[in-house]
Amino acid sequence: MVDLIEKTLTAGKAEDVVVLDLTGKTALADYLVVATGRSPRHVTALAEQVQMRLKKTGVPAQLEGEDVGDWVIVDAGDVIVHVFHPETRDLYRIEELWGGETPHRAK
């Protein structure tokens, strides 16, 4: 599922895609995927593309924040995707909240 999400974000021209492995660190999710969109419309479109691709594979995914477009979350159960506008990502620095984790950056 993480590979599908990475490929979808990369195909949609997301920037700075990062995957954090949270296995055994929290009950919230096993993976956290963080990406940046260029504009509020791009952020929302990326999240909707991820949701649509997941649903096509039978994985239910819910969106939060799509009305604003600064930070949209795709909740796919074991994987949570955060798509940010650049300034919002810089403000929250969500990767740093998981302290010391070496992220996997998509190529």
Tens digit of pLDDT for each residue in 30-83? 999 999 999 999 999 999 999 999 999 999 999 999 999 999 999 999 999 999
Q: Which of 46, 44, 54, 41 is nearest to 16 (CA)?
A: 46
Band the pLDDT of 91: cuts 50, 70, 90.
very high
Give residue 44's domain range.
2-105
3-state DSSP call for residue 39? coil
> pLDDT, tens digit, for every residue of 7-28?
999 999 999 999 999 988 888 8
Query: Looking at residue 8, which CATH number applies to its domain?
Result: 3.30.460.10
Provide the number of structural domains found in the chain: 1
pLDDT of residue 29: 93
